[in-house]
Amino acid sequence: MLEIKNISLEFEKPVLKNVSFKVSQGQIIGLVGRSGAGKSSLLNILSGQLSPNEGRVFLRGQKLRNPVSLLVPGYEPIRMVSQDYNLDPYHTVEENIREALISLPEAEKNRRVKQLIKLLKLKDVASIRASETSGGEQQRLSIARAIAMKPEILLLDEPFSNLDAQLRADLFQYILKLRKKEDLTIILVSHDGQDVLGLADYIYFLNNGKLSPKKTPFNAYYNLKHLRNARLFGIVNQIELNNEKIRFRPNEYSTSTKAQIDVEFIHSMFLGTHYLNYFMTKNNEQIILSNPVPLKDVVKFDVSKKSKPEEF
């Protein structure tokens, strides 16, 4: 188990404020927050690259040494994949992996190189320089290097930020496979909640250096009380109904004959798997409803779930 106790960090102003949480072996945890929320700083502390002003990191109940006392920064059981991938651009994919295994005997090194190339589907580019591979291949290579020596915990800093939709979907599968094959605990951070919904067992929000209580992906998506958090996962509608402001997702509605909310259709936007349908209420509030087909004939709808606003 990884445990973070009362971590605080301050540069010119506070970055992290009394952050604490626990991660059990084999879990995938998502940390979601806007740019500047302190996500990368927290990962640097967890990986032993940065010393907090207060608090400590524990692994299996043992307190890890303060990074300032380490001869070489970093904790062996905890490895991080940063946004810049940290590859040797002039060496091949296979050579990059070998560099991460330099301390192993040659026979064992060869076995592990082949295993990682197969696991992360890098065979076709194994002899190509890292600088000449695609963004998705560089991402997978960076992960291969990070897990080469079989760490217990893998930290992923904005792993999907430079990938197109297909590569993002592929990386989702690689991450799930890594957890199973390598028995990894994984912590990934993102400014986009959609990146973690399908992966994380639990999700935390990080706002202005403060950590929320943990939530299941379902609750993180559908709890709309805190608008800034909710919008990290996509569109949130807000209207006034019966003198009460409520919020709901684009799929939380019905168009039954008893629907009570009058709307005027504006336009539909085709997004491949569905349409986003834009409406205006009588109070001049924009509403976006998702549906497999355009909803140009809809003049009334009802909200199936309601969430009273609370700013956070």
- Map residue 190 onto helix, strand or coil: strand
Architecture of domain 2-228: 3-Layer(aba) Sandwich (3.40)
What is the dihedral sign for C-alpha 169, 199, 229, 160? negative
- Residue given tokens 């299996």 in the structure block: 60
Q: What is the pLDDT of residue 248?
A: 94
Q: Which of 19, 78, 71 is nearest to 46 (CA)?
A: 78
Q: What is the pLDDT of residue 307?
A: 57
Between CA 102 and CA 63 the distance in angstroms is 28
DSSP assignments along 165-188, one per residue: HHHHHHHHHHHHHHHHHH--EEEE
Q: What is the pLDDT of residue 312?
A: 38
List the chain domain ranges.
Answer: 2-228, 235-303
**pTM strictly above 0.85:** yes
| Lookup: tokens for 90 | 């002039």
Mean pLDDT by 10 residues, the chain (312 residues): 94 93 95 91 94 94 87 89 90 96 93 93 95 92 93 92 83 89 92 92 94 94 91 94 89 86 95 96 94 94 65 41
